[in-house]
Amino acid sequence: MTDGDTPGIRLLAGRYQIGELLGRGGMADVHAGLDARLNRKVAVKLLKPSLANDPAFRTRFRQEAQAAARMAHPTIVRVFDAGEETVREPGGAEVQVPFIVMEQVEGTLLKDLIAGGPLDPAEAVRITDGILTALEYSHRAGVVHRDIKPGNVMITTSGQVKVMDFGIARAISDSSATIAQTSAILGTAQYFSPEQARGEGVDARTDLYSTGVVLYEMLTGRPPFRGDSAVAVAYQHISEAPVPPSAVNPAVSPALNAVVMHALAKDRGERFQTAADFKADLDVAMTGKVPDRAPVSDDFNAALFGVNPGSTAASEATLRRLADDSERVPRTQNRPPVAWIWGGISVMAVIVVAVLVWVFTLAPEPLVGANAAVEIPKVAGQSYRDGGQKLLDAHLKVTRVDESSDTVPAEQIISTDPAAGTRVTPGYNVQVTVSTGPMQVTLPGQAYKPEPDAQAAIAAAGLVYGSTTTDYSPNVPAGQVIGVLVPGSTTPNAGNVQLTKGATVDLVVSNGNVQLPDVRGQAAAAARDLLSGPAYGLQVTLKPTTACSGQTITSQSPGPGDVPQKSAVTLSYCNGP
């Protein structure tokens, strides 16, 4: 195994069965998997073993995976588990393989959709709205994604937008990996924000810039900046103005053009400040109106460097920004005086001490009670997607807990804790129990088992024994099981079967006989092969007679009917001249 390759793991953490490879990336391979403990399908992301060589990465990886696992939202791919697996290489050396166990999503990566060309503007806005909904939730939870790009966005078969890989980028960037390694791991620099390209700290507005890049690419079929190297692209993010998307694709409206350019502002203070602002302007743009927040001009250079004197089409928003700029005092130095810095530190220290004193002396206000501000809405019986959104709209946090149910359909909410009608403070974490449908159990294959043992195995699996029928078998001894009959099936199944707990299972048991057919008139060789083959398993002897010719069977002993397994059968056939 070379450095960076994923070892051939078959069972992870003693519970996750690793299946087929679903995708391969710069930092990880994704496999289909099965959680053997909960009997549910999952996706398992195996990160490159070279990442685990850094202790800082391992610590940050665990912390970020735990933070991502606490997020439960319809637009975010759930993280179920994370950790490291010790694997022995063929040469005998042990390596640590970091892994993440996620919700398995059926759908198409956004990057694959974009590969087919520009998307319809309405569809691009719909997908962007889904990305921003996920970011609005994660930012409220204090989690910045840092790596928004089409390869981290999935569109499910039902059209749902799902964002994945929350926290992984931070775990990598906070480790001691070099810039070159980090760039390779995080993928192309085409989606970096200017502050990321400069190596500065990031916040929620970084994700909004990257989302603007993704929207630009959906509308035009290509990212705003391209170059021969990651460094060249990063430089363009810092210093060059992007070509407006309408110049690449005339189908992009001026209103939508303005929103994209606002999202791609170099100064994070000039771009969208929240995902909600970004979504609101997209909604306005889809009505054909240019949002007031968006700095728009027919000449983009004018929007950057001043009004074009020859243009009379400068928007009201642009003029208003220029008017504001005229009142600002020009800066005469690149950084504030040292005295200001120490003065700011002193003020912050006083504020911190005052807040600590206030917190420790303040009597805690109960989170739950009749005087609390928010009443938990009734969402039991609703789909998790709709009910979870209703709770979020009520300014509550949501933690999903899956539970099987014989009465509540899958993906519907069973209950909430606290219950509906309880008054709590805003931001309270509500536990939402969601049905996974009736519990599924696996019945191992019962072939060749005595009937009493098979009945006991059915009961042990949480199933109900129904009845027993007998049938012919060339090889299963009398009284032993040929297979099981499950609801909706008419053919005995000799292998493992997966059923809903409590389902009725019937047994098919061998009667020890085979049903000997009438082969008279058939070709001798064909009749012999049929009766001695796997369908009957009989001991066949051919007896020639010269009284006739044609190599056909004239008589058989015993005659057609039930005979014991492996019985001797004599076939007389014509062998005359």
Residue-wise pLDDT for 18-29, tens only, equals: 999 888 766 678
The counts of H helices and E strands in the chain are 17, 24
Contact 278, 293 (CB under 8 A): no
Name the least confident of 52-66, 414-428, 439-453, 521-535.
52-66
Whole-number pLDDT of residue 323: 36
Give Cα 249 to chain centroid, integer Å: 32
Angle, helices 121-140/204-220, rounded to nearest 10 degrees: 170
Whole-number pLDDT of residue 350: 72
Could you confirm whether 147 is annotated as catalytic?
A: yes
C-alpha 4/C-alpha 134 separation (Å) is 31
In the predicted structure, residue 252 carries a pLDDT above the cut 60: yes
Say whether 424 sits in a helix, a strand or coil: strand
Whole-number pLDDT of residue 471: 92
Across-strand partners of 574? 545
In the predicted structure, residue 380 carries a pLDDT above the cut 80: yes
| Average pLDDT rounded to a whole number, residues 165-184 | 50
Side-chain half-sphere of 567: how many Cα atoms within 13 Å? 21
Specify the DSSP class assigned to residue 53: G
C-alpha 502/C-alpha 507 separation (Å) is 16
Say whether 41 sits in a helix, a strand or coil: strand
Contact 136, 279 (CB under 8 A): yes
Neighbours of 170 (CB within 10 A): 21
Across-strand partners of 107? 156
Q: What is the DSSP string of 63-113?
A: HHHHHHHT---TTB--EEEEEEEEEE-TTS-EEEEEEEEEE---EEEHHHH
Q: Which tokens in the block code for residue 89? A: 């290489």
Whole-number pLDDT of residue 259: 96
With a pLDDT cut of 70, the percent of the chain lying above it is 79
Q: Which tokens in the block code for residue 48? A: 């490159």
Q: Which helix (H) or strand (E) holds 340?
A: helix 338-361
| Average pLDDT rounded to a whole number, residues 530-548 | 91
307-363: per-residue pLDDT in tens?
333 333 333 433 333 333 333 333 434 444 555 566 677 777 777 777 666 555 554
Neighbours of 380 (CB within 10 A): 15
| Phi, psi for 569 (deg, rounded to 5) | -125, 130
In this predicted model, which residue has the larger pLDDT, 181 or 314?
A: 181
In this predicted model, which residue has the larger pLDDT, 94 or 167?
A: 94
**pLDDT band with cut points at 50, 70 and 90 for residue 8:** low
In this predicted model, which residue has the larger pLDDT, 326 or 567?
A: 567
In the predicted structure, residue 433 carries a pLDDT above the cut 80: yes
**pLDDT band with cut points at 50, 70 and 90 for residue 495:** confident
C-alpha 222/C-alpha 505 separation (Å) is 57
Whole-number pLDDT of residue 327: 37
C-alpha 394/C-alpha 399 separation (Å) is 14
Neighbours of 549 (CB within 10 A): 11
Whole-number pLDDT of residue 149: 93
Whole-number pLDDT of residue 479: 92
C-alpha 282/C-alpha 161 separation (Å) is 16
Name the least confident of 165-179, 240-254, 483-497, 559-573.
165-179
Beta-sheet pairing, 374-375 with 429-435: unpaired
In the predicted structure, residue 266 carries a pLDDT above the cut 80: yes
Neighbours of 97 (CB within 10 A): 19
**pLDDT band with cut points at 50, 70 and 90 for residue 235:** confident
| Average pLDDT rounded to a whole number, residues 360-376 | 60
In the predicted structure, residue 371 carries a pLDDT above the cut 60: no
C-alpha 538/C-alpha 528 separation (Å) is 9
Mean pLDDT of the chain: 81
In this predicted model, which residue has the larger pLDDT, 382 or 227?
A: 382
Catalytic residue among 147, 165, 207, 281: 147
**Measured CA angle at 490 (ends 485, 495), to 5 deg:** 45
Whole-number pLDDT of residue 404: 84
Whole-number pLDDT of residue 519: 92
Beta-sheet pairing, 153-156 with 161-163: antiparallel
Contacts of 363-369 with C-beta under 8 Å, sequence gap 24+, read: 365/425, 367/424, 367/425, 367/428, 368/418, 368/422, 368/423, 368/424, 368/425, 368/428, 369/423
In this predicted model, which residue has the larger pLDDT, 292 or 401?
A: 401
- Domains belonging to the chain, first-starting first, are 11-103 (3.30.200.20), 108-166+183-321 (1.10.510.10), 374-435 (3.30.10.20), 440-511 (3.30.10.20), 515-574 (3.30.10.20)
In this predicted model, which residue has the larger pLDDT, 177 or 449?
A: 449
Q: Which of the given ranges, 44-53, 79-88, 466-475, has the highest pLDDT on average?
A: 466-475
Whole-number pLDDT of residue 80: 87
C-alpha 289/C-alpha 255 separation (Å) is 6
In this predicted model, which residue has the larger pLDDT, 341 or 152?
A: 152
In the predicted structure, residue 440 carries a pLDDT above the cut 90: no
| Average pLDDT rounded to a whole number, residues 387-405 | 89
Angle, helices 204-220/254-263, rounded to nearest 10 degrees: 140
